[in-house]
Homo-oligomer: A and B are copies of this chain.
Amino acid sequence: MGRERLYLYDTTLRDGQQTAGVQFAVSEKIAIARALDAIGIDYIEGGWPGANPTDSEFFAERPETRATFTAFGMTKRSGRSAANDEVLAAVMNAATPAVCLVGKTHDYHVTTALGLALDENISNIRASVEHVVASGREALFDAEHFFDGYKANPAYALECLRAAKDAGARWIVLCDTNGGTLPQEIGTIVTAVIAAGIPGDRLGIHCHDDTGQAVAGSLAAVLAGVRQVQGTLNGLGERCGNANLTSLIPTLLLKEPFRSQLETGITDAALAGLTKLSRKLDDILNRVPLRSAPYVGASAFTHKAGLHASAILKDPTTYEHIDPALVGNARLIPMSNQAGQSNLRARLASMGIEVDPKDARLGAILDEIKEREDRGYAYDGAQASFELLARRELGLLPEFFSVERYRVTVERRRDARGRMGHLSEAVVVVNIGGERRLSVSEGIVADGSDGGPVNALSKALAKDLGPYQCHIEDMKLVDFKVRITHGGTEAVTRVIIDSEDSKGLRWSTVGVSPNIVDASFEALLDAITWKLAREGVQPA
């Protein structure tokens, strides 16, 4: 017997944008839409065209997707026709294949927030959905405050849904807008809605995490029969966030009864890209990935308890509810050198370095990594620095040059015309094969203004490396990430620098220090050293 189709609807780009501190650029929205499409999400809600310049620009530039691209807006206001509502017109003008309109279904909100008669709200819902349908688009009705509305006045809340259904809405999305409805209550109310004549294959669920149960609430709705689930990557969203698709997707694909009864647009291969997708979003937002995140967190398969770790060695299923590889994650046993060493050998082999399993230097490298990670280093995102550390420990890294000293100055003062300006300057003294070289540089960016101390330092360092100059001249600094972290008891700064050469090769290095300039300097040094090692340059 065939499994029923369950549709996944992503609102990272709309509700996720309501996360405190999150502000997407257009280019970021494009990158996220592409990633969502690649994993097999059915609907991508891109934002609210007309509500702000970013969303308007994004819809104008939106990428082609296999997923159904959806614009969000609200039902028409009273006192004008759907065709003459300019807020709705801006949404329609985005020309997306689907349009989702939010409307009220809680009587109290209709009379208090909108100041409308109850039947007028119903006419607005009907006219708005009909308008979308008449334009040939797929219409979705987003039933705001549905669960609270149903509890207050079930007849009215259901009448709102029926109006949307009869007007031709493909989907009626039940929203727990305030996030306070508990899962078993969601299950009960969804069952009642279906019994009242709205079939489950036209119902969606939209939960928020205000009691920490958005995932459970969504699953309770699916068990009761809804066939569209809305959520966001990493649970972004207003207040405590939306239902986390990064948790929902593996549960729906891997766990019973969902696995046997439902099918989604996500393949097993796409599921194995989930951890990467989650990290990618954090990267774009420069957020620290949540280590404890279900399925995709760095700690999700970390076995710290001694008893667990030894049982895991005998049989991984003893303390793992799924195989981490299914979601692209990996097991981590912090205390076990056994598992650590085989990982390490695999990583070295990928660098072209074969090491005997019994080589004691494997343990030394692991110890060094652990000690450095305690101090705030992170080698996951800095492969080149990891490679240098391993090569150094194995005696495979020559010393190309040393830095005797540097000095960076930042000044802010008035210029000749009395305007405040700032200027950065760096002096670097290197020693190459016994010969000292002094370089000085200002931090200047494209428009001629000051680019800051790291820019100045980077330029001074790369200005005159004598015999190595020809190997580093095509290097440029393409990204620079800063994170305040904790090394031991003190806050330290971790800097990750991405460099690129003229062949398009890209590599990442890391530096850590309480001093941000010094952390950057360390990452810059690693970037140059890696390039020289990579090209097999002989030390002067």
Q: Which of B17, B113, B294, B449 contacts A338 (CB 8 A)?
A: B17
- Size of the A side of the interface (Cβ < 8 Å), in residues, is 123
CB distance from A130 to the nearest CB of B (A): 23
CB distance from A325 to the nearest CB of B (A): 15
Besides A210-B300, A408-B409, 8 more A-B contacts (Cβ < 8 Å) are A74-B307, A211-B255, A213-B216, A239-B300, A406-B413, A407-B409, A410-B515, A482-B484
Q: Which of B220, B223, B413, B455 contacts A404 (CB 8 A)?
A: B413
Seen from chain A, the residues whose Cβ lies within 8 Å of a Cβ on chain B are 17-21, 23, 25, 51-54, 74, 109, 112-113, 177-180, 182-184, 209-213, 215-217, 219-220, 223, 235, 238-241, 244, 247, 250-251, 255, 286, 288, 290-295, 297-308, 311, 314-315, 318-322, 332, 334, 336-338, 373, 378, 380-381, 403-414, 422, 424, 443, 445-447, 449-455, 479-484, 486, 489-491, 493, 513-518, 521
Residues on the B chain within 8 Å of A443, using CB: 515
Look across to chain B and name the residue whose beta carbon is closest to the beta carbon of A209. Answer: B294
CB distance from A486 to the nearest CB of B (A): 6
Residues on the B chain within 8 Å of A517, using CB: 410, 422, 424, 452-453
Residues on the B chain within 8 Å of A23, using CB: 336-337, 373, 378, 380
This chain: copies in complex:
2
Are B409 and A404 closer than 8 Å at their CB atoms? no
Bound together, the chains give a CA A515 to CA B444 distance in angstroms of 10
Are B490 and A446 closer than 8 Å at their CB atoms? yes
Q: Which of B53, B112, B298, B445 contacts A514 (CB 8 A)?
A: B445
Look across to chain B and name the residue whose beta carbon is closest to the beta carbon of A53. Answer: B337
Are B21 and A518 closer than 8 Å at their CB atoms? no
Are A405 and B410 closer than 8 Å at their CB atoms? no
Residues on the B chain within 8 Å of A403, using CB: 412
Are A18 and B373 closer than 8 Å at their CB atoms? no
Residues on the B chain within 8 Å of A209, using CB: 292, 294
